[in-house]
Structure 1
Amino acid sequence: MPVYADITKPPAPLPQPKPQSLGEGITLLPPLSRLGRGPGLIILTEESEKHLQIIEGVPSALIKWAEEGYAVVEIQGKAFSRGAKEVIGVALEALSNCDKLEPKNSKVGVVAYDPKIWSQAARALLGSPNVVGGVVYASATDEDKLETCGVPVLRHVAGSSAITKKEDGVTTYSYANGKSFRMATPFDKDFDYWAESLSHTRNLTFLKPLMGGPYFDLERIWDEHTYYEFADRSVEHTMSTMVDQPYVNHVPTLTGGIGRGPLTEFYRGHFIFQNSVDTELELISRTMGIDRVVDEFIYKFTHDATVDWL
């Protein structure tokens, strides 16, 4: 069994958000990964005062992308009153000067959560050689009006049941149950947790090859997590392998927690110290995804205590 951190010592602290205002409606947030460095990303969003919040386990788009390991500049719609070219220039310059940007000549991706803001920005992006790919969320009624910007584009279209299309550098996914382009905008009434989750995985699959990452050794992180759970049995170190406000659900009994406080309490009172001392995991198969590990394993233990989560 590999040895990771010494559980007799406190785990490394979680990265804390350190947003930098670049002007009205423009915010730079360095990566919130344990590595703390990564490529640059620009996200285009509607105006919101909740852009640095996590509510009921759901992070804002700005927080979520920083947790994915990107140095992120968020541009809210109101910032475009200065002109798209100027605003995009401010964002690109801030990324190039960010000491957490890696590599320093990082390729940049763009994610637009509003089709109108995308159309405002698209022409300005045409003259930006570092921009290598774009993602845009739209409603079915917006699809024919979307601008192109000379780089590969991924479109997520709400309210459409059309089949997936891939043509002329544009890939389009449809979400028949999506109420509007805001299906992926946290805290909005049209937010759809599952549509956002699926589209986010597709975003990572699309952007990472274009941008050169960031790539993480998910197998090692998962093995470290389960080592702290079942071998060393440390609540604090188990939690240190997770994002700031994680979500865990053990399907057989629907137990776990949403958020650091409830999940820590669950691990301490109902999981880590409730498992048999002879617990063993025998791995049968492992499937790797861009943002997930899917294990099939045999869970071996002597049932000599109450196991709350089973």
Structure 2
Amino acid sequence: MYVDISKPPPPLPTPQLTEIAPGLSLLQPLSRRGYGPGLIIVVPDSEISNLTIKDGVPSPLIKWAEESYTVVEIQEKALASKDVLKTAAEWVQKSDKCEPREGVGLIVYNGRLWNKLAPSLPSVPQVLGVVIYTDSTELESLSPSPIPCLQHVAGKVTDSAKQQSDHVTVYEYPNSASSAFALPFQPDFSYNTEAVSHTRNLTFLKRQVNGPYFDLERIWEEHTYFEFENRSVEYTMSTMVQEPYVNHITTMTGGIGRENLTDFYRHHFIFKNPASELELVSRTVGIDRIVDEFIFKFKHDSEVDWLIPGIPPTNKKLEIPMTAIVNIRGDRLYHEHISWDQGTVLVQLGLMPEYLPFPYQLPDGRTPAEGKRFEIRVPSAGVEAAAKMRDRNAVGSNKMFEFGIREV
């Protein structure tokens, strides 16, 4: 891959909202591709703008446009019109950014709103699949769906309610107070629970409306190319959504939001990394994320503050087993969660003692003799950990079972 970084990357798209009627609006895809299938979302009325991104969390309208859907949002106040669903479907499909046009998906963020909308569904054959967020207390009164349906249920679901038909799939969220767990900027919103439901939605919707589909591996490899080879902050950020984040969990380094992440890449990552090699061990590709096992190899001849902050160069060669969980929204990265065992890093640097004090009474009641102390052998390996990730037979298993307490 070659990119002329002397020229700036294309700018991120600016959301262009089309007001169709009060409570009814259209947003074109916010992906680099710029087109995608049709999707209708139905949400409660809110005083917060439907183009809001707050603390890195986008509104449902923004999020689905970033996933590369052509989205019409119906707010509750617009449901007074009996033809609102038909109008929404027509606006989606006549958009020049809607492709393919064979069908439209539907997401209803509240069981009460679904019951208002359900009677009009048979007159809108363009809708091929529906996602419904609801509460367990609403299940008995929930209108049945005549088309493939995915239900996200907040609260405990009875065994009988869990019985799924050929075209209805039910997911239970027993720790959620209400279906509003999926609605940002609400008291019951749960970032992690909503994210789980979002991945399930993508798995369901992409089958119903034929996409959008992207080469997630190519997107991830493009991003790492700009990070490690091309070393361009601007082009690296151009591969990410409006408000992305990176979390190096082990050292709690990275950045949340475009401004903070850009600063992190510029001052702590892209130009601070030594010459290195990423040895891929395994890769799992899901509907919206990639999980990589890899070995990060380099010589510690400069300070690498995101990885081992505060430690001057030791000139040691390191091989660090790592795991990266990369979430991709549409055709841009949303976030990276990267983890590794800092113990194996410190062992390889020669900075981890073989034994450490154990200042506790033993299970059998023993305490150290006067003037002595207990020590434990540190259960952490060095480069052997990387070798065992690479080849399960490179190092014998269970050797640390022999570790124990000594008195010194």
TM-score of the two chains, using structure 1 as the length reference: 0.95
* TM-aligned CA deviation for residue 50 of structure 1: 2.5
Higher radius of gyration, 1 or 2:
2
- Which residue of the partner structure matches residue 262 of structure 1? 260
- Which residue of the partner structure matches residue 119 of structure 2? 123
Q: Classify the secondary structure of the residue corresponding to 1:126.
A: helix
Number of aligned pairs? 304
Give 5+ residue unaligned stretches, structure 2: 308-408
* TM-aligned CA deviation for residue 161 of structure 1: 5.5
Q: Please give the residue correspondences for 1:271-290 in structure 2 after superposition, counting only pairs within 5 Å.
A: 271-276=269-274, 278-290=275-287
- Cα deviation, 1:24-47, whole Å, max 9, x if unaligned, reads 001100000000000000000001
Q: Please give the residue correspondences for 1:164-243 in structure 2 after superposition, counting only pairs within 5 Å.
A: 165-243=163-241
Provide the rounded CA distance (Å) in 2 between the counterparts of 1:224 and 1:281: 14
* Structure 1 pair 165–60 and aligned structure 2 pair: CA distance change class (3 A): farther
Q: Please give the residue correspondences for 1:1-310 in structure 2 after superposition, counting only pairs within 5 Å.
A: 2-3=1-2, 5-48=3-46, 49-83=48-82, 86-103=83-100, 105-160=101-156, 165-276=163-274, 278-310=275-307
Q: Classify the secondary structure of the residue corresponding to 2:4.
A: coil
Provide the rounded CA distance (Å) in 2 between the counterparts of 1:121 and 1:18: 27
Q: Classify the secondary structure of the residue corresponding to 2:281.
A: strand
Q: Indicate if the aligned counterparts of 1:53 and 1:59 stay in contact, CA closer than 8 A.
A: yes
- Structure 1 segments (4+ residues) deviating >6 Å: none
- Cα deviation, 1:187-239, whole Å, max 9, x if unaligned, reads 00000111100000000001101110000111000000000001111000000
Q: Indicate if the aligned counterparts of 1:123 and 1:149 stay in contact, CA closer than 8 A.
A: no
Provide the rounded CA distance (Å) in 2 between the counterparts of 1:273 and 1:18: 35
Q: In the alignment, residue 222 of structure 1 is paired with which amino acid?
A: W
- Cα deviation, 1:261-283, whole Å, max 9, x if unaligned, reads 0110011111111100x211111
Provide the rounded CA distance (Å) in 2 between the counterparts of 1:304 and 1:17: 45
Q: Classify the secondary structure of the residue corresponding to 2:188.
A: coil
- Percent identity, aligned pairs only, is 55
Q: Classify the secondary structure of the residue corresponding to 1:132.
A: strand
* Structure 1 pair 118–297 and aligned structure 2 pair: CA distance change class (3 A): same
Provide the rounded CA distance (Å) in 1 between the counterparts of 2:27 and 2:102: 16
- Which residue of the partner structure matches residue 385 of structure 2? none
- Which fold has the larger relative contact order, with Cα–Cα distance below 8 Å and residues 6 or more apart in sequence? 1
Q: In the alignment, residue 52 of structure 1 is paired with which amino acid?
A: L
- Which residue of the partner structure matches residue 378 of structure 2? none
Q: Indicate if the aligned counterparts of 1:154 and 1:206 stay in contact, CA closer than 8 A.
A: yes
Q: In the alignment, residue 89 of structure 1 is paired with which amino acid?
A: K
Provide the rounded CA distance (Å) in 1 between the counterparts of 2:158 and 2:198: 19
* TM-aligned CA deviation for residue 106 of structure 1: 3.1
* TM-aligned CA deviation for residue 165 of structure 1: 4.6
- Cα deviation, 1:120-139, whole Å, max 9, x if unaligned, reads 11121122221110001011
Q: Classify the secondary structure of the residue corresponding to 2:176.
A: coil
Q: In the alignment, residue 288 of structure 2 is paired with which amino acid?
A: D
Q: Indicate if the aligned counterparts of 1:31 and 1:69 stay in contact, CA closer than 8 A.
A: yes
- Cα deviation, 1:126-173, whole Å, max 9, x if unaligned, reads 222211100010111011211123111000001125576532411000
Q: Indicate if the aligned counterparts of 2:156 and 2:174 stay in contact, CA closer than 8 A.
A: yes
Q: Classify the secondary structure of the residue corresponding to 2:240.
A: coil
Q: Indicate if the aligned counterparts of 2:272 and 2:304 stay in contact, CA closer than 8 A.
A: yes
Q: Classify the secondary structure of the residue corresponding to 1:147.
A: coil
* TM-aligned CA deviation for residue 184 of structure 1: 0.3
